[in-house]
């Protein structure tokens, strides 16, 4: 059984097969798809969702979820752009990031101390924070008066956009965190069996709070990088992002029930969404077809996943 | 033969007394890489209790899943009342009169007893409205028949485990069953509750239902069954008349060798007191409990389910806060408010239900073992994989863990090997006190003796062991001293060498 090729096959997130298929398809059928310029384009486009997805993966492996990420995107972007005239760019950005982390802390503490489901807690946070953003901005968009801010969003290093580098570097770091550190191992243990993790001496509550802070940080960072791309922020920024992020993470093989998931899978999920959007856009497919295709792929991936899991389980469980 | 099917079970029994009601003939089932069932044949007569025995992984559950239609056999045939049947799924099986009563109860706790009994077959009126009057009347009749004292309108969540089991059995009676399979039905029942269950089984027998009874417990099998079929490695090793065999013969068939007599290398000279508990109380769970465990000694804690045994263990391990009392380690009072505190004071807990509380099932054996000591196998949060591997290699050998590889998820191991992973997890932290709750629950006979041996070895190496168990032979065979618990109070303390079974039973029953 251990030699069965199916085992190894099942360890590669199935989303990568779909990603390769999508790339191959668009390379043939979409004229300007297969080009370095377009690929860097995709990387920038996906980096926003991608950054949040890195944090969301950990929270979901923990068996929790964070629906407030879209609102945090708007909050962090508004703070970073709105405060930079008074504080300067770097302090304003730090305030934006700090707000994301602080909100994550709050989410985590409420989930830990009250035992209320993360879905409900962060649903409340999602609405509340969005309201705060509208209050703070007075429903106005903010524009950055300092060109250095927008320049950063457009800059590139060695021909690759800086924002893409940021995303790729953080992906590698998160992959290492999840596979090689105690924090990562604890995340799987807490999501896999919370009681057993507790009995093994893991401080489950603190661990979960740390991960909510992590996803808050990533959401805030995504909001700030997004605002550097536009040189502006709007109070509606990041609307529905939580759904795209969760879609990407689930496409990547992370289970809503916790304990299962990988950063590499999430990267595959994020890229698949990016490639589909970009490729269909190049083929001039209307945007709502993109949604239909995306929905179909989401369900198809889950079906394949369930199949493979059932077969692997049935193989040894007598 | 066709006409036979039209007779009721009772008439059938008159026509051909003790004729095979169910005949499983040469069933083979292969999973990729494993032959789970190899040419298995089994006969169940009407009104017979047929015990099915075998170690975990011997093929019992696969066989029953084939019978219930969860799996399809590769080869072989099943005959019910002489007619060949094809069971395509559990629904089909139910309508044929084959009912499985699962070890893990599958009830909806928020619904009433009646709704649970008739789940999936609620009596209906026109337009699909539920006929509640008929529902509760029918359910009431079924409960009467089972001699249950709770009402059909009670919510399942308010019932004890034993009563929930009764509801599950009640479900089987909705369709006048011909074959009822009990899978480890007594795993969570007290002795009094077992008596009720056995009465129910006997009354089913009187109605000429064929019973398949799967259990690890020899005493039950010998009280209940007419015949015993033993499975090992997916094949039938023998079918015996219960009246003409004994435990030794059955065990030999089951594990393929004779069980070594229980070695009882008691510690000659127990060391100093390692754990002492004084006046420990917690709400209405337990009151004023005091005892001590010495290094090198196994202290058994015996009592009925609900006597507060597990709660005492959880309090010592920091999972519950006591109202009063103190805990001393090596003579010093310690404050333990969380598992990490307990671990820091050299205390380990192997919990009652391994799967729910002890293991992360989807994780590999190695990762489960290192889970309690990630701090030791890492530097500033960075895991040292070779150190983790060293832990696994060391304890896999020491505990003779049988696992295909270190990366095998523990969910795929047998109960005995899972327990070894739990033990391995704790041994790495070099605990001075090991609390082990129901060390062999749901574990087959062969592995049981092995786990018992391990516990004795650990004590011999100087560990203080507190062993909670509801199995008399285990408590008597493994412990040096025995604490008897009754209703949250320490009823008596015995020396294991001199105590009699009667004295123990009386102590835990409050006599």
Per residue in A272-301, pLDDT (tens digit) is 999 999 999 999 988 888 889 888 888 887
The verdict on A257 touching B (C-beta cutoff 8 Å) is: no
- The whole-number average pLDDT for the span B117-127 is 81
Query: Chain A residue with minimal CA distance to B408?
Result: A2
Res B308: pLDDT: 87
What are the pLDDT digits (tens) for B87-114? 888 778 888 889 888 766 678 888 899 9
Give how far B469 is from chain A: nearest CA, Å: 19
Query: Chain B residue with minimal CA distance to A202?
Result: B340
- Per CB-CB distance under 8 Å, the chain A contacts of B356 are 193, 195-196
Query: Chain B residue with minimal CA distance to A309?
Result: B362
- Residue A134 tokens, joined: 């509208």
User: Which alpha helices (DSSP H) does chain A contain, by range?
Assistant: 5-11, 15-29, 36-61, 69-82, 84-87, 89-114, 118-137, 147-154, 162-180, 182-192, 194-199, 204-230, 241-251, 263-282, 287-316
The verdict on B61 touching A (C-beta cutoff 8 Å) is: yes
The verdict on A240 touching B (C-beta cutoff 8 Å) is: no
**Residue B460 burial class via C-beta count within 10 angstroms: exposed 0-12, middle 13-18, buried 19 and up:** middle
Alpha carbons A11 and A6: distance in angstroms, whole number = 9
DSSP state of B471: -
- Per CB-CB distance under 8 Å, the chain A contacts of B359 are 193, 196
Closest in B363, B385, B405 to A189, CB measured: B363
Alpha carbons B82 and B1: distance in angstroms, whole number = 7
- Per CB-CB distance under 8 Å, the chain A contacts of B357 are 193, 195-196, 199
- Per CB-CB distance under 8 Å, the chain B contacts of A6 are 32
Fold match, B2-97+176-255 / B273-508: yes
CATH fold of B2-97+176-255:
Rossmann fold (3.40.50)
Please say whether the beta carbons of B499 and B482 come within 8 A: yes
Q: Is the pLDDT of residue B2 over 60?
A: no
Res A299: pLDDT: 86
What are the pLDDT digits (tens) for B22-45? 999 999 988 765 678 999 999 999
Alpha carbons B448 and B262: distance in angstroms, whole number = 11
Closest in B33, B57, B338 to A4, CB measured: B33
The domains of chain B are located at 2-97+176-255, 113-174, 273-508
Res B266: pLDDT: 59
Closest in A2, A201, A316 to B372, CB measured: A201
Alpha carbons B21 and B46: distance in angstroms, whole number = 5
Give how far B61 is from chain A: nearest CA, Å: 7
Could you tell me which of B176, B238, B160, B240 has the C-alpha nearest to residue B210?
B176
Closest in A182, A198, A202 to B378, CB measured: A182
Cα B434 from chain centroid (whole Å): 22
8 Å CB contact of A199 and B57 = no
CATH fold of A15-312:
ABC transporter involved in vitamin B12 uptake, BtuC (1.10.3470)
- Per CB-CB distance under 8 Å, the chain B contacts of A4 are 32-33
DSSP state of B273: E
Query: Chain B residue with minimal CA distance to A259?
Result: B362
The verdict on A7 touching B (C-beta cutoff 8 Å) is: no
Please say whether the beta carbons of A311 and A6 come within 8 A: yes
- Per CB-CB distance under 8 Å, the chain B contacts of A203 are 338, 340
8 Å CB contact of B34 and A316 = yes
- Under the banding of pLDDT at 50, 70 and 90, the label for residue B259 is low
pLDDT per residue of chain A (318 residues) written in tens, 0 to 9: 344 455 555 567 778 988 999 999 999 998 889 998 899 889 998 999 999 999 999 999 999 999 999 999 999 999 999 999 899 999 999 999 999 999 999 999 999 999 999 999 999 999 999 999 999 999 999 999 888 898 888 888 988 889 999 999 999 999 999 998 999 999 999 999 998 898 888 899 999 999 999 999 999 999 999 999 999 999 999 999 999 999 999 999 898 889 999 999 999 999 999 999 999 999 998 888 888 988 888 888 778 777 666 554 443 333
Other C-beta atoms lying within 10 Å of the C-beta of residue A314: 12
Chain A, 186-205: which have a CB under 8 Å from a chain B CB?
Answer: 186, 188-189, 192-193, 195-203
- Per CB-CB distance under 8 Å, the chain A contacts of B374 are 182, 185-186, 202
Q: How far is CA A47 from CA A37, A166, A169, B83, B371, in A?
A: 15, 8, 11, 65, 34
8 Å CB contact of A182 and B404 = no
- Per CB-CB distance under 8 Å, the chain A contacts of B34 are 1, 315-316, 318
Res A312: pLDDT: 47
Written as one string, the DSSP assignment of B212-255 is EEE-S-HHHHHHH-SEEEEEETTEEEEEEEGGG--HHHHHHHHH
Q: How far is CA A133 from CA A12, A127, A130, A226, A234, in A?
A: 40, 10, 5, 16, 9
- The whole-number average pLDDT for the span B51-70 is 84
Could you tell me which of A53, A45, A95 has the C-alpha nearest to residue A219?
A53
- Per CB-CB distance under 8 Å, the chain A contacts of B319 are 198-199
The verdict on A316 touching B (C-beta cutoff 8 Å) is: yes
Res B22: pLDDT: 93
8 Å CB contact of A196 and B371 = yes
Res A135: pLDDT: 95
Helix (H) or strand (E) holding B192: helix B191-206
CATH fold of B273-508:
Rossmann fold (3.40.50)
Looking only at the bridges linking them, the beta strands covering B286-294 and B273-282 are: antiparallel
Query: Chain A residue with minimal CA distance to B376?
Result: A182
Res B1: pLDDT: 42
8 Å CB contact of A198 and B339 = yes
Closest in A185, A201, A203 to B367, CB measured: A185
Give how far A190 is from chain B: nearest CA, Å: 8
8 Å CB contact of B374 and A185 = yes
8 Å CB contact of A316 and B372 = no
DSSP state of B103: S
Q: Can you list the pairs that B157-162 forms with residues at least 24 positions away whose Cβ atoms lie under 8 Å?
A: B157/B109, B157/B110, B159/B113, B160/B193, B161/B105, B161/B188, B161/B189, B162/B188, B162/B189, B162/B190, B162/B193, B162/B196, B162/B197
Chain A, 100-159: which have a CB under 8 Å from a chain B CB?
Answer: none
- Residue B502 tokens, joined: 């009667």
The verdict on A259 touching B (C-beta cutoff 8 Å) is: yes
Angle at B387 between CA B386 and CA B392, to 5 degrees: 95
8 Å CB contact of A196 and B339 = no
Angle at B173 between CA B167 and CA B178, to 5 degrees: 135
Mutate which of B316, B339, B376 to test chain A, going by most A C-beta atoms within 10 A? B339
- The whole-number average pLDDT for the span B306-333 is 92
- Per CB-CB distance under 8 Å, the chain B contacts of A313 are 411
Query: Chain A residue with minimal CA distance to B340?
Result: A201
- The whole-number average pLDDT for the span B62-69 is 88
Strand order in the sheet with B34-45: B34-45, B20-31, B75-80, B83-85
Lowest mean pLDDT among A56-65, B86-95, B335-344, B396-405: B86-95
A–B interface: beta-carbon pairs under 8 A: 100
């Amino acid at each position: 059984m251990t030699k069965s090729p199916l085992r190894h096959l099942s360890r590669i997130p199935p989303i990568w097969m779909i990603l390769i298929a999508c790339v191959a398809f668009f390379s043939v059928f979409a004229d300007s798809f297969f080009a370095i310029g377009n690929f860097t384009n995709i990387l920038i486009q996906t980096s926003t969702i991608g950054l949040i997805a890195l944090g969301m993966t950990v929270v979901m492996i923990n068996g929790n979820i964070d629906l407030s990420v879209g609102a945090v995107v708007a909050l962090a972007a508004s703070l970073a752009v709105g405060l930079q005239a008074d504080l300067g760019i770097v302090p304003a950005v730090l305030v934006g990031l700090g707000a994301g982390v602080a909100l994550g802390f709050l989410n985590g503490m409420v989930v830990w101390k009250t035992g209320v489901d993360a879905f409900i807690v962060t649903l409340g946070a999602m609405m509340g924070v969005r309201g705060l953003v509208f209050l703070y901005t007075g429903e106005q968009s903010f524009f950055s008066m300092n060109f250095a801010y927008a320049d950063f969003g457009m800059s590139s290093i060695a021909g690759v956009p800086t924002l893409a580098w940021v995303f790729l570097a953080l992906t590698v770091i998160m992959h290492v965190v999840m596979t090689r550190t105690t924090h990562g191992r604890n995340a799987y243990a807490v999501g896999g069996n919370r009681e057993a993790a507790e009995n093994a001496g893991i401080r489950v509550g603190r661990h979960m709070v740390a991960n909510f802070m992590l996803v808050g940080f990533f959401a805030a960072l995504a909001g700030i990088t997004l605002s550097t791309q536009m040189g502006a922020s709007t109070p509606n920024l990041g609307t529905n992002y939580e759904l795209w992020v969760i879609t990407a993470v689930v496409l990547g093989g992370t289970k809503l029930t916790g304990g299962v998931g990988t950063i590499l899978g999430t990267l595959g999920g994020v890229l698949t969404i990016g490639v589909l959007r970009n490729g269909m856009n190049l083929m001039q497919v209307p945007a709502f077809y993109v949604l239909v295709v995306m929905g179909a792929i989401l369900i198809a991936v889950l079906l394949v996943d369930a199949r493979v899991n059932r077969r692997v389980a049935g193989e040894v469980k007598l | 033969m066709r006409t036979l099917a039209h007779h009721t079970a009772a008439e059938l029994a008159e026509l051909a007394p003790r004729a095979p009601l169910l005949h499983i003939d040469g069933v083979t089932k292969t999973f990729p890489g494993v032959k789970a069932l190899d040419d298995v044949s089994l006969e169940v007569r009407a009104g017979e209790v047929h015990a099915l025995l075998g170690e975990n992984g011997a093929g019992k559950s696969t066989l029953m899943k084939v019978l219930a239609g969860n799996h399809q056999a590769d080869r072989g045939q099943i005959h019910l009342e002489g007619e060949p049947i094809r069971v395509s799924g559990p629904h089909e099986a139910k309508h044929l009169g084959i009912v499985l009563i699962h070890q893990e109860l599958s009830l909806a706790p928020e619904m009433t007893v009646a709704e649970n009994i008739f789940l999936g077959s609620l009596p209906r009126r026109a337009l699909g409205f539920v006929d509640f009057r008929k529902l509760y009347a029918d359910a009431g009749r079924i409960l009467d028949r089972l001699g249950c004292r709770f009402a059909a309108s009670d919510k399942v969540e308010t019932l004890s485990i034993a009563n929930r089991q009764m509801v599950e059995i009640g479900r089987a009676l909705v369709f006048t069953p011909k074959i009822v399979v009990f899978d480890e039905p007594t795993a969570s029942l007290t002795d009094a509750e077992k008596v009720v269950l056995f009465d129910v089984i006997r009354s089913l027998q009187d109605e000429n239902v064929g019973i398949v009874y799967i259990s690890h417990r020899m005493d039950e099998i010998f009280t209940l069954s007419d015949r015993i079929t033993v499975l090992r490695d997916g094949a039938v090793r023998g079918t015996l008349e219960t009246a003409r065999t004994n435990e030794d013969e059955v065990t030999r068939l089951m594990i393929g060798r004779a069980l070594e007599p229980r070695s009882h290398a008691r510690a000659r000279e127990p060391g100093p007191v390692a754990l002492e508990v004084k006046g420990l109380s917690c709400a209405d769970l337990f009151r004023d409990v005091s005892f001590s465990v010495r290094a090198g000694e196994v202290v058994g804690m015996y009592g009925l389910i609900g006597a507060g045994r597990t709660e005492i263990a959880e309090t010592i391990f920091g999972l519950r806060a006591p109202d009063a009392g103190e805990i001393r380690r090596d003579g010093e009072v310690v404050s333990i408010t969380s598992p990490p505190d307990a671990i820091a004071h050299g205390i380990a807990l192997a919990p009652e239900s391994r799967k729910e509380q002890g293991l992360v099932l989807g994780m590999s054996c190695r990762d489960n073992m290192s889970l309690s000591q990630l701090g030791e196998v890492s530097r500033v949060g960075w895991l040292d994989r070779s150190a983790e591997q060293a832990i696994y290699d060391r304890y896999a050998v020491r505990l003779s863990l049988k696992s295909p590889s270190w990366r095998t998820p523990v969910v795929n191991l047998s109960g005995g090997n899972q327990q070894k992973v739990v033990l391995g997890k704790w041994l790495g932290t070099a605990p001075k006190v090991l609390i082990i709750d129901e060390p062999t629950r749901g574990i087959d006979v062969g592995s049981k003796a092995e786990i018992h041996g391990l516990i004795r070895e650990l004590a011999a190496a100087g560990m203080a062991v507190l062993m909670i168990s509801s199995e008399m032979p285990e408590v008597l065979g493994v412990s040096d001293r025995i604490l008897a618990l009754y209703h949250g109070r320490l009823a008596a303390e015995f020396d294991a060498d001199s105590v009699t079974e009667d004295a123990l039973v009386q102590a835990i029953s409050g006599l």
